[in-house]
Amino acid sequence: VFGLCQVLPLLHVMHDASHTAIGHTESSYKFWGQLTLDWMAGCSMLSWHHQHTIGHHVYTNVYGADPDLPAGGEPRRFVERQKWAAIYQWQWLYMPVLYGLLAFKVRV
């Protein structure tokens, strides 16, 4: 239940704020983004903006440039350019479980 209560504002309000799609002024984007990400999730809206909006959206799915794609040593394979490992044949089974465990990830 806690994960659901946290993910809904993050997926909607914070994501829209990070893309300047909520409100009509810069102060409203900052307010909603910081309220949901900084205060509710304990993360940084500024870091999210630089990593996701600037990094990911400029280089979406470009291997080696998109910060959302794994660089190596990850149990998931997103693009064909990633080196194949035998464990990837089972990612359809284990990745839903690992994604579910992200709710317990602690940010230091």
Whole-number percent of the chain with pLDDT over 90: 9
55 near 67, Cβ under 8 Å?
Answer: yes
Model confidence at 47, pLDDT cuts 50, 70, 90, reads confident
pLDDT tens digits, 23-37: 888 888 889 888 888
Rounded (5°) CA angle 100-38-58:
75
pLDDT tens digits, 61-84: 888 888 878 777 788 888 888 888
Mean pLDDT value of segment 93-104 = 84
